[in-house]
Chain A
């Protein structure tokens, strides 16, 4: 009679809610039984089809059938929808299994309580317990479900695309049925000359861009912030406002205006150079010059953000450090090198990494300013200033090479994720959270 926990657990293994019923938690048991009924009916109807869809990606493509000279569309299998449907069903199955495990655990725990002589909680007590003691979990479960279906699912879906032959013009559902091709897409991207040349060149420029763009905007921000904060500078508020304006204008406006300003023949910048008797510069039309131009423009866009951050940090530096340094006879540069800069770096290191990761994917600046041009005859659908992310955009929207684009996307993700995690763990602010009180 004292083996309540085993009996309850075994009954719950047989079916949701049986163990709870055995434990005389009738309401809870009935609710769990209902979950079982709904879940089973759904999976019996859908699971086999979902798995079939995921494994085969469909059999019959959509086609036309002509009946008395009138063609009608006969719907077949749409590989993409099958893949998505399969993924959704699998995610639901995962949730169902999780609930199943929890129901067994619950029956076991209640059984144990009974053995110890407690009365099992009735439904009101159970609800109250959950609301009091387990409130955070309950509250978080809703966003977690949202994240599961709105974030995780599309990410998995995108990754799966890289392992299919989903690409235009010949393999587009619903007229064609997709196939799983394993790692062939990655192999093509890295080994196949047509793609690899473009890929590695664009990858190289992406890394150069990310490093240079991050460094220039960060150091520029430090410089401007220090300048504005100098003793004896008047109208600090006005300077701050002036420097923040570039950040306040939407990039969609300012960068498209810039694009026209830098036009080699008709842009005002070259016109002015002409007035001063200087030669015209090929701002956006020469491959190397265009790279320099995007970096300069990115500084103009990015410095305000760093400036604001660093101004905030500067106010937090204890004044007595500087006073002590002055007593010791430190020069202004020494104070900057030994007090200001370490302090700024320490506080903003995580932000620096975020900015770096953001610059790897800095779509706006490149796309709006140059569209990745000037065109490069050696590249596959790419231009000299294309980053991986803008190239990916072109591959997807202009060329419909979804599988290659998905593979590039995965590679970007791996790059950014590994770099971020590695460098974040190395920063001192992560290790010594309590250094600054």
Chain B
């Protein structure tokens, strides 16, 4: 009976959603983000805790089999972990490709029906929403180890309502990725970017100095937050205090709009992740505002890349959204012990270092961040520097109501030169209405 019910639930879900299409590539550009208020401080005094990589006497269930959902760029890493895990615990692990931004919706539907993966990625801005729906088991057995070994901010990002839910895997933010053959030294301020654009830009030949995903609030936030805008007050926990239309945010939006004339004379809808990638890898685009997840593609295209902090805006450092990637254990897993063991195993110090080598993801583990391979890596240092002036993405459930209205508002400001103040006021009103409507 249970089985047929879940089948029917699946059928009805399909009926309810009309049709589903395969996701288009630009969805990968959506932030698969997570948060760390600051980078793991790379100081010698950092308590590089001796890793006590024990499994706390937890034994996997007999006959356990695990499925893991993760991003396409994590395939190599997860599969390598799966091999080691199987050798150690005799539990087979299967990797399935699901983009982190798509995972919340998928887990919400599939988790309770018992057909979701056992270990999934928690896109950290969704943590509150997902925990409110009881979709993850708390990280209890390994809580002390996780808290001891990972950077404070990473632990914060994996915690909701004072309960630790996740297993931090890596920290990330976006920064300025530039082509060293076109840009000798990375620009310190946006004035330098504008000056360089005047000499380099040639829209007729599709040559551009600087590009970013204009319609995506994840990246736009850097312009609003530098001068003093913020999403939610009290470290991103107060849903009533929205700072996206204060004077700072409006000043930031004015500056953001000015870039259209000086740097990037295109409509917001015309810049997609794929187009940026194509231009950068063909050597036409000099600088790209993007995250570590693109490094692999750019390296494979044999581009000589460098990473630098985002140039300053009106003399103030740009504040980017930062995140941690977190593994979570599906609350409906049939094998909670095995799933917890794997989530812990794949986020240990050794695992994070391996992940850094394979896919360039920055470790959230303090000892791993101190490791020479990370310290001597030029690209990693660029992101780590930007992390210092980054802000955690809020993880309260209301965060989900921010993206669409803000993306639309900033798109209007960019494309049609609408008045920043009025447009942002309207967006904030919309967010508040939506927050009220979801009571």
A contact set with B: CB distance below 8 Å: 61-64, 66, 69-73, 78, 80-81, 84-85, 88, 149-150, 153-155, 157-158, 161, 167-176, 188, 192-195, 252, 256, 260, 263-266, 274, 282, 284-286, 361, 363, 367-368, 371, 373-381, 383, 389, 392-393, 396-400, 402, 405-406, 409
Contacts and interface: CB of A to CB of B under 8 A. Distances in A.
Contact of A64 (B134, B427, B434): B134
Contacts of A375: 215, 269, 404, 407-408, 411-412
A374 B269 contact: yes
Contacts of A70: 140-141
A259 B266 CA distance: 16
B270 interface: yes
B30 to A, nearest CB: 10
Nearest to A72: B336
B397 A78 contact: no
Given A66-B140, A266-B279, 7 more contacts: A62-B331, A72-B336, A149-B8, A174-B112, A282-B267, A363-B19, A374-B269
Contact of A73 (B5, B14, B137, B398): B137
B16 A402 contact: yes
Nearest to B165: A71
B112 A78 contact: yes
Given A72-B336, A379-B408, A158 B15 contact: yes
Interface in B1-55: 1, 5-6, 8-9, 11-12, 14-22, 24
B105 A400 contact: yes
Interface in B406-439: 407-409, 411-412, 415, 418, 423, 426-427, 430, 433-434, 437-439
Closest 7 CB pairs of A and B: A175-B134, A154-B15, A285-B267, A375-B408, A285-B269, A169-B397, A265-B266
A377 B405 contact: yes
A137 B19 CA distance: 33
Contact of A153 (B8, B18, B21, B206): B8
Given A71-B140, A194-B430, A375-B411, A266 B112 contact: no
Given A73-B331, A161-B16, A400 B108 contact: yes
Contacts of A80: 9, 112
Contacts of A168: 108, 129, 133, 400, 438
A263 B9 contact: no
Nearest to A192: B437
Interface in B102-119: 105, 108, 112
Given A73-B331, A367-B21, A170 B15 contact: no
B269 A264 contact: yes
A374 B214 CA distance: 13
B183 interface: no
Interface of B: 1, 5-6, 8-9, 11-12, 14-22, 24, 105, 108, 112, 128-129, 132-135, 137-138, 140-141, 203-204, 206, 215, 266-271, 275, 279, 331-332, 336, 397-398, 400, 404-405, 407-409, 411-412, 415, 418, 423, 426-427, 430, 433-434, 437-439
A400 B19 CA distance: 15
B269 A169 contact: no
B275 A266 contact: yes
B134 A62 contact: yes
Contacts of A85: 1, 5
Contacts of B128: 169
Report which residue of B6, B18, B269 has the largest number of chain A beta carbons within 10 angstroms of its beta carbon: B269
A331 B275 CA distance: 54
Contacts of B137: 64, 71, 73
Nearest to A404: B437
A194 B431 CA distance: 10
Nearest to A167: B438
B438 A265 contact: no
Contacts of A158: 12, 15-16
Interface of B is mostly: helix
A96 to B, nearest CB: 17
Nearest to A375: B408
A389 B18 CA distance: 8
A397 B17 contact: yes
A284 B15 contact: no
B411 A374 contact: yes
28 contacts: A64-B138, A71-B137, A72-B336, A81-B9, A84-B9, A153-B12, A154-B8, A154-B15, A157-B16, A158-B12, A168-B400, A169-B132, A169-B397, A175-B135, A188-B437, A192-B437, A194-B430, A252-B22, A260-B275, A374-B269, A374-B411, A375-B215, A377-B405, A377-B409, A392-B18, A393-B18, A396-B17, A397-B20
B357 to A, nearest CB: 34
A85 to B, nearest CB: 6
A171 B404 CA distance: 20
A149 B168 CA distance: 44
A335 B259 CA distance: 61
Contacts of B437: 188, 192, 194-195
B408 A397 contact: no
A321 to B, nearest CB: 44
B129 A154 contact: no
B404 A381 contact: yes
Given A374-B269, A379-B408, A169 B204 contact: no
Nearest to A174: B112
Contact of A377 (B19, B135, B427, B438): B427
Given A256-B24, A265-B267, A393 B11 contact: no
A380 B437 CA distance: 12
Contacts of B18: 361, 363, 389, 392-393, 396, 409
A400 B17 CA distance: 10
Contact of B408 (A81, A193, A376): A376
A376 to B, nearest CB: 6
A284 B269 contact: yes
B438 A170 contact: yes
Q: Of B9, B105, B133, B407, which is in contact with the most chain A CB atoms at under 10 Å from its CB?
A: B133
B112 A170 contact: no
A282 B128 CA distance: 39
A195 B430 CA distance: 10
Contacts of A154: 8, 11-12, 14-16
Nearest to A402: B16
A49 to B, nearest CB: 11
A264 B266 contact: yes
A75 to B, nearest CB: 9
A150 B8 CA distance: 8
B168 to A, nearest CB: 19
A44 to B, nearest CB: 15
A150 B267 CA distance: 45
A389 B20 CA distance: 12
B140 A264 contact: no
A285 B134 contact: no
A265 B331 contact: no
B407 A84 contact: no
Contacts of A63: 134
| Residue among B12, B140, B332, B398 facing the most chain A CB atoms (10 A cut-off) | B12
B107 to A, nearest CB: 11
A173 B19 contact: no
Nearest to B423: A377
